[in-house]
Structure 1
Amino acid sequence: MRHLNLIALSVLLTAVSADAQQPSTTETNELNNVTIEREPVQVIPSDDLQIPLVLEPHRQVELVAHADGVVAVMNAKVGEKLAKQAEAARLDDREYQLELKQARAELKLAEIQEEGAIAGTKRQMSALVEAREAAVSLAELRRSRAIVRAPFAGTALRVHVREGEWVRAGQPLVTLGDVTKLSVELPVIRKSAGDDEQENTIEVGKSYTLQINGESVTGTIESLPPLAEDFGPLRNFIDNLGSAVVTIDNSKSTFLVGQAVHIPLIPRQPVASVPNASLQALPENSGWKVQVVRDDTVRDITVSILARINEERTYTSGLFQAKDELIVKTSQPLTDGTKLRSANTPPPESKKPAPKVYDDF
């Protein structure tokens, strides 16, 4: 429920700053008996909303061992590129070589037997040759599994084992990623059905602006998967929340895997619900601000717009404090730093210094 306090306030003095000037008597009189409509600020701490967003390779795969064995050769080096089908690692394949040699010898023997077979055993010998051929193919396949190849051109992001180390089938050897294009999954506000006022720019193929290393970077929305579980805390104050996978071009190696991404929807400052009437545009459309009463002083707070609640209120993020009172409406404009006191409160009396008393000796 919205609680409003209507009080009459009088200006005591202006903000104290390096370039502040004392108001004239006329200006001061004009600011007397200002009516201010205000409400308590319900501050939501931003600590629970700090969901890390980081850049990841657009394509990434774990190259694993296909069999048990000892790592004989590790060609992959962290930070170095591998061409498509390049040999990243090789297991000791001496056992597989012997199996292949044995299978080929048995095939050769079967072919000789087939040539000398009499009419009654010709079919049996032909089937034996076919079985030996399959044994050779199987031995070749097993030997090929000792070599771990890159399925696409990429960069070795991590190398998990060393040469001479025993590994099990399925154990990760190298993390390979294509870093020419990076992506990040982030929360977005989707347009609700029947909402004609909100323009839906969250569509596959549309551009999306991110903040990386303090700079604005434009990416492309590639997909719109269901909302990720990590973004759950944001659903407490944002309706129609969804996920979007945004990709950015990194062909010039401008960005790094694991680099932090920032968006306004994940606030780094406290969150508060404010009436739309209290939002004031900054000069040159550079943003928004609200005014609060803090310790009987008017303070301007620059805010970021998070999400619209309804036609009357909006979630914002800014440097709010627990005891702030939001200024919803004033009968006269107030500047940052203006001191206020209730019109019903008499001004403080000036105290004269007590006379000095001297003792006679």
Structure 2
Amino acid sequence: MIKFSAPQPIFHCAILSLLFLGMFGSFPQEAFCQNTDDAPQGVSIERAALTLIAPDRFRVPLEVSPLRTLSIVTPMDGVVRDVFVKVGDSIQEQMEVIRLDSQVFAMELKRAQAVHEVAKIALAQATEPKAKQLLEAKLNVAKIELELAAFRSEQTILRTNLTGTVTELSVAPGQFVRAGDLLARVVDPTQLYVQIPAERGNIEVGKTVPLTIEDQTAEATVEAILPPLPEFNPLRELFISVATARLVIDSKDGRFTPGQAVVSNMVPKFPVAEIQILALKTDTETPDSERMVQVIRDGFVRTIPVQVLGQVGQTHIFVSGRFSPNDELIVSSSQTLEDGSWVRPMHLETEAPKTPSRTPSPAPAPRTGF
């Protein structure tokens, strides 16, 4: 059993540093001391090494997106005559956004109107039954051609079917466009959604859950539970059953906007370690009962708040916290260890350093002269 002591009464003793880890190669339960009234007392501590996993392999960019998006494309080849909006404008449903050059279509419409009028006059002047029947058919054809010309002329006026905000505009007056080209994009900022990783058994469709969007908290409704997205697959190492939760956020008050970052409790921000559940502690003084662990770092006891991830069997759990590569986990101790306590091996207090003995060198043999 190795003894430890603290140089000052306010410090508690704890486990060996990494030097002793290298000397003994294991982490047995050892004796430590807490210096009270200048008399060292034994403290029993169990420690364990930490194997850290970098959080980069689990990070996934999450952001809110508009639930409804409208892409405005041109239905025909033509030249842009007018653009009535700019990026960032708020527009109403059926508002005119862009107009194409309509001179050709306007002339076609006038011609169709004239043909239709001629057909009407011819039918009115016909007297023979057979002639009337033929002229009625011609009038129907003229009517259809008039409707088609009017429709094509109307297609030069591009309107929005969505009340929202213009987020993209890719044309200018005088620009030639082809049928199918994207001219503008409009989004509805009042209804947003995000797809985040979730544990399948801990979420339910139709329920309302809290969601952290940057520095604010929103109430989101679970719209669907879907298979995990490919970018969520690394999280399978930390959780048993990973799914994708599609959440809908009401933002009619304008609190949130598309593109804002979302924070997920399943995506660790700091290094990840697998620890014994016994080492996990709860700070009952905080409103949310913050979880934490204690480690030995450079000879000092450090208390580290941690994010609890998935459980591994009955005895271990994954946590994420501000760990350092040389940290040693304090699994348990017989006495409370205060954060910041300085520790060192107890035998350094009770044993004097040994000075290696020196054996007198034998006297040199006399040299014989010649």
Contact 2:9 2:35 in 1 (8 A): no
Contact 2:4 2:347 in 1 (8 A): no
After TM superposition, the structure 1 = structure 2 runs for residues 220-235 of structure 1, keeping only pairs within 5 Å, are 220-235=221-236
Return the TM-score normalized by structure 2.
Answer: 0.80
1:60 to 65, 69, 75: 69
The residue aligned with 1:99 is: 108
What do residues 10-52 of structure 1 show as CA deviations (whole Å, max 9, x unaligned)? 23347999xxxxx75347623x3x3332222221111222211
Change (3 A) 1:138 1:328: same
Does residue 1:79 correspond to 2:81, yes or no?
no
After alignment, is 291-300 or 91-100 more displaced? 291-300
The residue aligned with 1:214 is: 215
The residue aligned with 1:310 is: 313
Does residue 1:299 correspond to 2:310, yes or no?
no
Contact 1:15 1:338 in 2 (8 A): no
Shift of 1:66: 1.6
Contact 1:8 1:36 in 2 (8 A): no
Does residue 1:25 correspond to 2:51, yes or no?
no
The residue aligned with 1:174 is: 184
The residue aligned with 1:271 is: 272
- Write the distance in 2 (CA, Å) between the matches of 1:274 and 1:203: 30
The residue aligned with 1:332 is: 335
- Write the distance in 1 (CA, Å) between the matches of 2:186 and 2:258: 12
Change (3 A) 1:237 1:213: closer
Structure of larger gyration radius: 2
Equivalent position SS for 2:114: helix
The residue aligned with 2:53 is: 44
**One-letter identity of the residue aligned with 2:36:** T
Contact 1:8 1:35 in 2 (8 A): no
> How well do the aligned residues superpose, as a CA RMSD in angstroms?
2.8
The residue aligned with 1:131 is: 141
The residue aligned with 1:154 is: 164
Equivalent position SS for 2:217: strand
Contact 1:9 1:35 in 2 (8 A): no
Contact 1:14 1:337 in 2 (8 A): no
Equivalent position SS for 1:29: strand
- Write the distance in 2 (CA, Å) between the matches of 1:348 and 1:91: 95
Shift of 1:311: 2.9
Return the TM-score normalized by structure 1.
Answer: 0.81
Shift of 1:137: 1.7
After alignment, is 166-175 or 328-337 more displaced? 328-337
How many correspondences in the alignment? Answer: 329
Equivalent position SS for 1:47: helix
- Write the distance in 2 (CA, Å) between the matches of 1:268 and 1:64: 41
Equivalent position SS for 2:67: strand
The residue aligned with 2:204 is: 203
What do residues 156-199 of structure 1 show as CA deviations (whole Å, max 9, x unaligned)? 122222222222222222211111222222111111xxxxxxxx
Change (3 A) 1:28 1:259: farther
The residue aligned with 2:357 is: none
Shift of 1:343: 5.6
What do residues 297-322 of structure 1 show as CA deviations (whole Å, max 9, x unaligned)? 32211101122333322221111122
**What residue ranges of structure 1 are gaps of 5+ in the alignment?**
1-6, 18-22, 192-199, 352-361
Equivalent position SS for 1:95: helix
- Percent identity over the alignment is 33
Change (3 A) 1:96 1:233: farther
Change (3 A) 1:74 1:11: farther
